[in-house]
Amino acid sequence: MTLANDTFETVAELVRQRPERSRIFEELGIDFCCHGHVPLDRACVLNGLDLVDVCRRLEEAEAAVTGAERDWTSASLTELTEHIVELHHRYLRRELPRLAGLIDRVLDAHGEHHPELRNVREVFAGLQCELLSHMLKEEQVLFPMIRQLERTPADERGNLRFHCGTIGNPIAMMEHEHDTAGKALQQLDRLTHHYQPPDDACPTYRALLSGLEQVQSDLHLHIHKENNILFPAAAALEPRA
Ligand SMILES: [Fe+2]
Ligand SMILES: [Fe+2]
């Protein structure tokens, strides 16, 4: 991370190059997935952050990198789609119903003193429903198209015919749905005061907020891998009409 060169890179590109940077952007509230096409210096201005301080934190994160996230820009698209399904989709299918159950219990116990929990339940239910249908569309329509494009020799890709026309159509639809999910996450973040438990929160309430915060972090990374790595690479495989 060099202050002179990297501050003009977009936030999405910085995470694409070094995935561990996502953790710092997450902590600072810098959106690197749906609105990641903003240079770092501009993102700092928009979020009221000091650029020098942000660069220092990014450098520290890089020095302490554990290697838990591999560089997906050098993987095949087939591998990346499999990774997304096995890690991120599986996580959401397990975690969303668990959190929906926790919200019901916390609302029962704390709804009287925390009426905003009703809005949390409503927003979360909408997000859960949309994400489950969104993941099915990726797994049954878009990801198979991407794998088919990748395994077809370049000079034969022009002969491929998809029922939805160009691959840009389902990609645009998925990106639109990512934006919708991003807005729901912002609402949850606001309604829960950045997932901070109130003084009277019981352990279940705290577990709920911690779980919601993890869903937000995971979804940001998940959407980043799709919007900023997988989709542009897939669109580039399709021959131009
Ligand atoms: Fe996905
Ligand atoms: Fe997606």
**CATH number of the domain encompassing residue 21:** 1.10.3910
Same domain, yes or no: 101 and 217: yes
Same domain, yes or no: 98 and 187: yes
Same domain, yes or no: 111 and 194: yes
How confident is the model at residue 241, as a pLDDT? 63
Q: Is 150 a member of any domain?
A: yes
Give residue 135 CA to ligand 2 midpoint distance, Å: 6
Give residue 64 CA to ligand 1 midpoint distance, Å: 28
How confident is the model at residue 161, as a pLDDT? 82
Distances 223 to 27, 79, 89, 122 between C-alpha atoms, Å: 17, 16, 11, 22
Same domain, yes or no: 186 and 207: yes
Give residue 94 CA to ligand 1 midpoint distance, Å: 14
The one-character DSSP state at 72 is G
How confident is the model at residue 133, as a pLDDT? 98
Same domain, yes or no: 156 and 213: yes
* Helix, strand, coil fractions of the chain, as percent rounded to 5: 75, 0, 25
pLDDT, block means (10 residues), the chain with 241 residues: 72 83 85 88 93 85 63 93 95 94 93 94 98 98 96 87 87 97 96 93 90 93 96 91 63
Residue 48 to residue 191: CA distance in whole angstroms? 21
Q: Is 109 a member of any domain?
A: yes
Q: Which residues of 206-223 are buried (b: 16+ CB within 10 A; e: fewer)?
A: ebbbebbbebbeebbbbb
Q: Is 69 a member of any domain?
A: no
Residue 82 domain boundaries: 75-237
Same domain, yes or no: 203 and 103: yes
> Based on the structure, what is the number of domains in the chain?
2
Same domain, yes or no: 136 and 224: yes
How confident is the model at residue 17, as a pLDDT? 81
Give residue 88 CA to ligand 2 midpoint distance, Å: 10
Give residue 126 CA to ligand 1 midpoint distance, Å: 17
Same domain, yes or no: 54 and 85: no
How confident is the model at residue 66, as a pLDDT? 47
The ligand placed nearest to the CA atom of residue 139 is 1
Same domain, yes or no: 48 and 84: no
How confident is the model at residue 18, as a pLDDT? 79
Same domain, yes or no: 219 and 139: yes
Same domain, yes or no: 113 and 226: yes
Give residue 172 CA to ligand 1 midpoint distance, Å: 13
How confident is the model at residue 102, as a pLDDT? 92
pTM check: above 0.85: no
